[in-house]
Amino acid sequence: MREEVQPKEKLITPAMDSPLHVKKEHWALTQTAFDNLLRRFASNRDEAAKQYESLRRKLVRFFEWRALDVPEECADETIDRVARRLEEGTEIENVAAYSYGVARKVFRERIRRRETTVVELENAREVPAPTVTEDPELDERFHCFDRCLSNLPEDKRTLIIDYYQDEKRAKIDLRNQLAEKLSIPLNALRIRVHRIRINLESCVNQCLKLKE
């Protein structure tokens, strides 16, 4: 039997008897509400989890690109609100579009809160100037990078090395030739390399975390 996919990074509180009677500011996502949200994406749970992850990623990027400093928290708050609406029986035809609308509302609220935040006077301390220093972990970064690169499958490793040979040759020419060689359009090549790069970057970050 296949194991059920549980979307990552979402904390769910134990089911409550009557979440509808909980005050707005104290409402927390329940397993039932979350399952209900997943069902709106797809009937197959794996597919639903995939779509959920995709939506969450978009929400996180949305808040990042709008320069909010806690994008993940804002993304989760958005998802909670959408799940709550669904639980209350709101008819939502397009979850992604509806979530975007909610995300904009959360964004406006956060901006307003940020503008009105008052420094706690009693706890105010002189803020030391952050200093830009040499990166002491550079060797570790190189080490992690080399390890992650060598763990990539051969074809992916070759592709990313060839794609980023920009210092030595005319970048655009080389990339066009690579696309021709793989018989794919240049845009498809860019996306393919992007995916490899994201995996590599995530591998390096995990490797550095383990070293901490």
Partner 1 sequence: MAFRTEKEAIRVRYLLGDLSEQERVDIEESYFADDNSFQELEVIEDELVDAYVHGELAGADQQQFEKLLQSSARLAGRVQFARILANRVGSMSPTPETDAVVPAVATERPARSKDTQTWWQKIFGVPQAGRKFAFAGSAVTVLMAAALLFAWMQLRGSSQRLERERAALQQQREGLNAQSSEQNSKINQLAADLERERNLRAEDQKLIESLRNDSANETASPSRSIAFLFLPSATTRGASGTGGTVTLRPGQSIVRLSLLLPADEYKSYEATITNQDKQPILSRKGLRSRRIGSDSQITFQFSAASFSSGDYFVSVSDASGLETIVGYGFRLVRAR
Residues within window 19-48 making contact with partner 1, judged by CB under 8 A: 23
* Alpha-carbon gap, residue 20 to 39, rounded angstroms: 19
Distances (CA, A) of 48 to 34, 57, 83, 84: 11, 14, 14, 18
* Binding test (CB under 8 A) with partner 1, winner from 129, 136, 139, 153: 129
Minimal distance in Å, beta carbon 207 to partner 1? 12
Angle between helices 186-211 and 171-182 (to 10 degrees): 100
What is the smallest separation between the CB atom of 23 and partner 1, expressed in angstroms?
8
Number of residues that bind partner 1 (CB under 8 A): 62
d(CA 101, CA 78): 9
**CB of residue 186 vs partner 1: minimum separation in angstroms?**
8
Question: How many angstroms separate the most distant Cα atoms in the chain?
Answer: 65
Q: Convert 97-145 into a string of H (helix), E (strand) and C (coil).
A: HHHHHHHHHHHHHHHHHHHHCCCCHHHCCCCCCCCCCCCCCHHHHHHHH
Q: Which is nearer to partner 1, 39 or 142 (CB)?
A: 142
Shortest gap between Cβ of 3 and partner 1 (angstroms)?
A: 25
Residues near partner 1 (CB under 8 A) are 23, 54, 58, 61-62, 64-67, 69, 71, 96-97, 99-100, 104, 113, 116, 118-119, 121, 124-132, 135, 141-142, 145-146, 149, 158, 160-162, 164-169, 173-174, 177-178, 180-181, 187, 190-191, 194, 197-198, 200-201, 204-205
